[in-house]
Amino acid sequence: MPTQTEKLALFRQLHSGDAPLVLVNIWDAGSARTVAAAGAAALATGSASVGGALGFGDGETVPLDAVLENAARITGAVDLPVSLDFEAGYAAGEAGLSENIGRVIDAGAVGINLEDGYPAGDGEGVRPLEEAAARLRAARQAAEAKLPGFWINARTDICLNAKPEAHDALIASVIARGKAYAEAGASSFFVPGLRDMSLIRQVCAGSPLPVNVMAGPEAVSFRALAEAGVRRISYGPFPWRAAMATLTSYAKRAGEAG
């Protein structure tokens, strides 16, 4: 099995290849093995999917120990790089966040998503830019002490929290966050909720980091996203929802047979 450092090197390389890195988000060791067997180059968890599989909701409602135990099972089940959706970091302050980054690395992950929103019930909207950047700096410092180059996919929830018709007016703020997050030590920039191709092109052109978008059921082609400058594409909760829809259909058929 490759070492964690070797997996990290591969994960970094996948963000600068000829085509975008496409991540089919998984939720446990079984789904990780399934996606790996289908030919995936890397894996990433989705917090909503992990929460659903463990019987919780999204928004840091899964206990941290359970998140990390699940992550360790995933990284131990496959030979691929694994990135963990770590939501807002499971800590109110920078010291707690730094400690948690070390625990994520100990679980075998080579990267995380770290969002600028708040956990469920702790606040609305996104954190002030200065606070979000400070948290990223703390995460980067902690990561460098344990696994240099650890991949931090900085996520902004600006577009996710707004209606699509409002995105155009928000795009300058999105780009400003991308630049600030790059200076704070982020490795890539995730903008879920953004679907307008002209705006995606603007973000990619203005971001010093590789840009990650989410591909939903109505997403445009991967080729179009690549041509717009996107370097990473995530499926988010949609694989989990599809799996649960299939399970539901089996359950309904079983009920009809009775």
* pLDDT-based confidence at residue 217 (cuts at 50, 70, 90): confident
Mean pLDDT of 31-60: 97
- The pLDDT tens digits of the residues spanning 42-52 come to 999 999 999 99
Structural tokens at position 156? 């902004």
Query: Are 74 and 34 within 8 A, CB to CB?
Result: no
Task: Provide the number of structural domains found in the chain.
Answer: 1
Asked whether the predicted pLDDT for residue 205 surpasses 70, the reply is: yes
CB atoms within 10 A of CB 149: 15
* pLDDT-based confidence at residue 220 (cuts at 50, 70, 90): confident
* pLDDT-based confidence at residue 22 (cuts at 50, 70, 90): very high
Q: SS3 string of 42-75? A: CEEECHHHHHHHCCCCCCCCCCHHHHHHHHHHHH
Q: What is the pLDDT of residue 178?
A: 99
Residue span of the structural domain in which 252 resides: 4-257
The CATH number covering residue 219 comes to 3.20.20.60
Q: What is the pLDDT of residue 257?
A: 73
- Cα 115 → chain centroid: 8
Mean pLDDT of 7-17: 98
Q: What is the pLDDT of residue 124?
A: 74
- The pLDDT tens digits of the residues spanning 147-182 come to 999 999 999 999 999 999 999 999 999 999 999 999
